[in-house]
Chains A and B, each alone.
Chain A
Amino acid sequence: MSTLNLDLSNYRDLLKQYIRTQDETALYQAEQFSKLSMQQNISPEEIINVHIQALQDLYPDLPEGIESSMNFLLEAMISYGLAYQEFQSLREKQLALKSEISVAANMQQTLLTTVKPEVEGLDIGAISVPANQMNGDYHHFVQNNQNTLGIAIADVIGKGIPAALAMSMIKYSMDSFPENRMDPCTILESLNRVVERNVDPSMFITMFYGLYKPETSKFYYSSAGHEPGFYYNAREDKFEEIEARGIVLGVTRDTEYQQYEKTIHPEDMIILLTDGVTECRQGDRFIESEEVLDVIKTYMHLPAQQLVDQVYKHFERLQDFHLRDDFTLIILRKQV
């Protein structure tokens, strides 16, 4: 089929062909014509105008009523044409915004980047995927010279850009704490003061901080209202919730956080997560936390990183590849 021209004679010929034959080919070409018109920003009223002129060419003795009715139609289309142009310009704006956000998201990635450390006797897996472009979850590994491993996992209630901004602040506060004061409760207490001073009261941040000391196999932890993680006891082949009480960050200035400890045995696992994992939804139904554990169990034979990747893939698929909340899952397994 020849390429269409957006001119009157072409339209007139098409119209003539259609009136004569009622042929689907002509209709198909009319469809092409309208697409081409949109590409070239031709508004609907211009098409109607072309139609009127073609009609006048084909039927010089058009009844007057028909002609006026066509003018009436043209007038009625003007606002549609305007709305279409506005839509075009908003679409361009949206593209610009999108690319601006993706620059910000890249920057956030660089800012919040954390290296999964190598700790002797510990197999570590971590995954964090934002629901939108910017991540409101945060996890960070801190390895200091005494060979201890600090793990922070946090979640801003809410997602998107405000959450991401708050997270950058948390990260930089943590970086500025002295290395000799890395007790989980101390860290949460310091962060609580930072958040209380700097973040809008309507924004809540939950956080779990754990510290693992390889030489004693002890895990110390505190929680600021964070989604409870799980502990896998290998000897009994049982999961239990990691219980830790504590109020979310930033509510009152001088909050004190309780610190807990646990001895980790070979093959045991510590599972830390955000509510994006436990509040996955299948249709309208929230999943049960047992389901998360079942999935973990299914892939438990794999190395920790593959394990968390598979769990993510499972829930990504369960939710039709559309995350509703930022998803962060960290698993530590003590090796034999």
Chain B
Amino acid sequence: MEFQSCVNINKEWDIVGARQIGRDFARKIGFGTVDQARIATAISELARNIYLYAGTGKICFETIEEIDHKGICIIAIDNGPGIAEISKVMEDGYSTSGGLGAGLPGVKRLMDDFDIVSEQEKGTEIRAVKWVR
């Protein structure tokens, strides 16, 4: 599938690049300041997960347009070890961030829709959507 825009994540510095592109993307779609900040934070979390657990991967962005509303879709893809127990990872207080309120549950909170497909030893694909209000 062709995405509108992608950032490869190989080193920690790439997280900043992904945030920047994602934020520009969000601004163009029409998100306000608060939502831009939330989207950037969600991108940070997703990119950091790739950097920490998979090593490399990419973050892609898409504009989604439906009749009555617009939104952004962030897609995080890696070929890392995958997530064995997704429900555990999605539990509050479980994340390795040490209870800093982020992790994947944080991403889910920051965005409107959230979906994970993960296979062990193959990789993980996370899609998170936020709509312009």
Q: Which residues of A contact B (CB under 8 A)?
A: 45-46, 49, 52, 71, 74-75, 78-80, 82-87, 89-90, 93
Residue of B nearest to A74 (CB): B37
Pick the contact of A49: B34, B40, B102, B106 (CB < 8 A): B34
Number of interface residues of B (CB under 8 A): 17
Apart from A74-B37, A82-B102, what are 8 other A-B pairs with CB-CB below 8 Å? A45-B37, A45-B38, A49-B32, A78-B38, A79-B102, A86-B101, A89-B92, A93-B92
User: Measured between C-beta atoms, what is the minimum distance from A257 to chain B in Å?
Assistant: 46
Say yes or no: B93 contacts A78, CB within 8 Å.
Answer: no
Partner of B37, one of A78, A89, A90: A78
CB distance from B132 to the nearest CB of A (A): 15
Say yes or no: A46 contacts B34, CB within 8 Å.
yes
Main secondary structure of the interface of B (DSSP, over half): helix
A83–B37 touching, CB < 8 Å = no
Assuming the A-B contacts A75-B40, A89-B92, A93-B92, are A82 and B34 also in contact, with contact meaning beta carbons closer than 8 angstroms in the complex? no
Query: Are B34 and A79 in contact, CB atoms less than 8 angstroms apart?
Result: no
Report yes or no: B33 in contact with A82, Cβ–Cβ below 8 A.
Answer: no
Chain B residues with Cβ under 8 A from A87's Cβ? 101
Output the least CB separation between A333 and chain B (Å): 52
A83 near B100 with CB under 8 A, answer yes
How far does the alpha carbon of A137 sit from the alpha carbon of B8 in the complex, in Å? 60
Verify if B10 is at the interface (C-beta below 8 Å from A): no
Could you say which of B32, B40, B109 contacts A82, with CB atoms under 8 Å apart?
Answer: B109
Q: Does B56 make an interface contact (CB < 8 A)? A: no
B112: min CB distance to chain A, Å: 14
